[in-house]
Amino acid sequence: MAIKSFQGSRRQQNTAGSSQLKVRDYMTTNLITFRPDQSVQEVVEALIRHKISGGPVVNHKQELVGIISEGDCLKQLSESRYYNMPLDHDNVEKRMATNVETIDGNLDVFDAANKFLQSKRRRFPIVENGKLVGQISQKDILIAALELKGENWNSTTKGGS
């Protein structure tokens, strides 16, 4: 007697990749950005006011030149107390991280999730034609995952319908 499948019929999987979830579909485009010449105190105030943990630093051409985070601000705060310097004596350019990893807006969200896991970063800026166009966070990736809650993960990642 032959073994029968109890799974029932399945939808054909389309491997064309037309319905992949892209980073650009979930990235934030309305960003709080900072300028290199801003004081760290202004950044701290903005982080608190907007309830964010950091943000991209752009020049006057909207080109990404760095990232500043709560940690960068805490370092400045700690050093200003140690050296008895006022908090507003430092600017963003002196404190920001300049070795910034970006992510491609056309990257699949599942590949982006892997990049987050490998890098231990909380957010990645997206740059197109040299200009900052958005940012994707770990939370944005989780939102994409929730939207797929009722679908087959495997068929979605292979571009299925």
Q: What is the DSSP string of 84-135?
A: T--GGG-BHHHHSB-------TTSBHHHHHHHHHHH--SEEEEEETTEEEEE
Is 32 a domain residue?
A: yes
Instruction: Give the whole-angstrom CA distance, residue 148 versus residue 42.
Output: 39
7, part of any domain: no
Predicted local confidence at residue 148, as pLDDT: 75
| Residue 40 belongs to a domain | yes
Q: Residue 64 maps to which CATH number?
A: 3.10.580.10
Res. 7: pLDDT tops 60: no
Q: Please, is 101 exposed, middle or buried when counting C-beta atoms within 10 Å of its C-beta (0-12, 13-18, 19+)?
A: exposed
Give the pLDDT of residue 13. Answer: 41
- DSSP string covering 39-66: BHHHHHHHHHHHT-SEEEEE-TT--EEE
Q: Which of 99, 43, 35 is nearest to 71 (CA)?
A: 43
Average pLDDT, integer, range 14-39: 82
118 against 84, higher pLDDT: 118
pLDDT tier for residue 10 given thresholds of 50, 70 and 90: very low
pLDDT on residue 75? 86
Rounded average pLDDT over 25-38 = 95
Cα dihedral sign for 55, 40, 36, 59? positive
Residue 13 lies in a domain: no
pLDDT of the residue at 67: 95
> Is residue 5, in this structure, part of any structural domain at all?
no
pLDDT for 99-157, tens place per residue? 999 999 999 999 999 999 999 888 999 999 999 999 999 999 999 988 876 555 555 55
Asked if residue 3 is part of any domain, the answer here is no
Are residues 21 and 160 in contact, defined by beta-carbon separation less than 8 angstroms?
no
Name the domain count of the chain. Answer: 1
Summarize pLDDT for 50-72 with one digit per residue, the tens.
999 999 999 999 999 999 999 99
Q: Decide if 2 is inside a domain.
A: no
Across 20-24, 31-35, 77-81, least confident range: 77-81
Full domain range(s) for residue 141: 23-157
* Residue at token pair 């056309």: 106
Residue 88 falls inside a structural domain: yes
More confident residue, 38 or 90: 38
**Confidence grade of residue 76 (pLDDT, cut at 50, 70, 90):** confident
10 exposed, middle or buried (CB, 10 Å; 0-12, 13-18, 19+)? exposed
